[in-house]
Structure 1
Amino acid sequence: MEQRKFISKRVIASFLSLTLCMVTFFSCTLTSTIEKKKSYLIGIDPTWYPLKLRGKDKNLEAFIKGVIKDGARFKDVQVEFVSRSWDNLLEGLERGQYDAMITTLIPRDFYANKLFFSSCFFQTGPVLVVRKSFHMPQTMQGKVIAA
């Protein structure tokens, strides 16, 4: 039960973060473009290389696609996804094969003149967040609660 509660809170936090990111993306950075264009093609690497998701890659993909579609619906635009391998994803964006990409690519300085990176909307480094008033039960002291 405790693990379900932890996972549920983590999913909700991730959902809210991604929703905020997408609303910001569609309302701030592309406002003038959105007025002209009502459909976007988004490239995505379904393996999430180099992350090791232990079979959960489809879950992450479905979650992110769902949140992006919800954000797009909020701004009355359409989005479609195209799957590309991690090593072809950036090249496809540069060639104009799609309008944006969802990636694990790290924002480096040498990308700054040609790419815009949103804020990180899904932290891949797991953390546990609890209320400040939370007290760890004695039975859990010193034990691994997630791996």
Structure 2
Amino acid sequence: MIDAIKNQQSKINNLRVGTLPLLLLALVILAYLAFLFFAPQSPPKPDDTWTRIQNEKIVRIGIDPSSPPFIVDDGKGNLSGFDVALANELAHKWGVKIQWVYTGYDGLYDALNAKQFDLILSALPYNPSKTQDVFFSHAYFNGGPVLIVRGDDTTTTDLAGLQNKTIAVELGSNGDAAARKYQKRYNLNLKQFNTSQDALRALQRGAVNAAIVDPITFIDFQRAEADTGAKTWRVVGKSLADENYIIAVRRDAPTLLREINAVIDSLRRAGKLDEMQKENF
């Protein structure tokens, strides 16, 4: 009996000696992992581009100033447009000055990656084929096609309200493609024209019930035809397809990208982007 008790105690002692170090090691590992997961992380180091902008107090912006109403040069070096207003907001928020770098539109991406400037802000639409080369900001304007009706049409609230009606589109445009997506669903009669302006003139004559064009073309038409009542025409609903305008930065500038997005998001929440659009369009 005494020998059996001694053997059992020996087994317990051996268990304690063999397992305690392993339990302690496991607890140490768990504590370390918990620290890594829950401990506050130090902020990432700012990228070199953002650091230089802050140190020199200058942001270099690549542009092709031939895209009104986004950005245009009056021939005397004076720039105006929506993109210029947005650039000024960025510079104001960051406390820096702007250095404009003129570049041909087709060469903007190459010049950006050659570090000739810090970012592109020049009527630049989102291009998925470029996402391996650059970072794109949040959208600051949607240039996708919109549904337009005359001022005396007070009942149309969406495409569903135009069932069996005739809609003017520009042949081969994004508006044409968007309209075809809904053609069968709402039994739309699409009438194609050579240009978006021709589509809007058909609406003006009363030859169609509505038109689908890009918002810039519509705004230009309203301005040109203000005396004919086009100012009373309205956009129905949201864009029928996205054609987002963005800012591009190099992929080695994530801090700059975050700062750009922060300003764009702030301007959108405050309604400032809409104000800038009205002022420049």
Where structure 2 has 5 or more consecutive residues not aligned to the other structure, the ranges are: 1-45, 72-79, 157-208, 211-232, 236-281
Q: TM-score, normalised by structure 1?
A: 0.54
Q: 2:118 aligns to what?
A: 99
Could you report, residue by residue, the CA deviation over 1:53-105 in whole angstroms, capped at 9, with x for unpaired residues?
xxxx1x32122112211221122011121221111111111111111112424
One-letter amino acid of the counterpart of residue 140, structure 1: D
More deviation in 87-96 or 97-106? 97-106
1:112 aligns with 2:131: yes
Secondary structure of the structure 2 residue equivalent to 1:80: strand
Could you report, residue by residue, the CA deviation over 1:12-38 in whole angstroms, capped at 9, with x for unpaired residues?
xxxxxxxxxxxxxxxx99765544341
Output the CA distance in 2 between the equivalents of 1:72 and 1:127.
32
Among the aligned pairs, what percent are the same residue? Answer: 24
Q: Provide closer, same or farther for how the CA distance between residues 31 and 84 of structure 1 changes in structure 2, counting only shifts above 3 A.
A: closer
Output the CA distance in 1 between the equivalents of 2:53 and 2:103.
24
Larger radius of gyration: 2
Structural RMSD (CA): 3.4
1:39 aligns with 2:58: yes
Secondary structure of the structure 2 residue equivalent to 1:116: strand
Q: 1:60 aligns to what?
A: 70
Where structure 1 has 5 or more consecutive residues not aligned to the other structure, the ranges are: 1-27, 49-56, 129-135
1:13-28 counterparts in 2 under 5 A? none
Contact (CA 8 Å) 2:63, 2:103: kept in 1 or not?
Answer: yes
Secondary structure of the structure 1 residue equivalent to 2:107: helix
Shift of 1:106: 2.8
One-letter amino acid of the counterpart of residue 139, structure 1: D
Larger relative CO (CA 8 A, sep 6+): 1 or 2? Answer: 1
Structure with greater proportional strand content: 2
Q: TM-score, normalised by structure 2?
A: 0.31
Output the CA distance in 2 between the equivalents of 1:119 and 1:67.
13
Contact (CA 8 Å) 2:54, 2:96: kept in 1 or not?
Answer: no
Q: 1:80 aligns to what?
A: 99
Q: Provide closer, same or farther for how the CA distance between residues 126 and 77 of structure 1 changes in structure 2, counting only shifts above 3 A.
A: farther
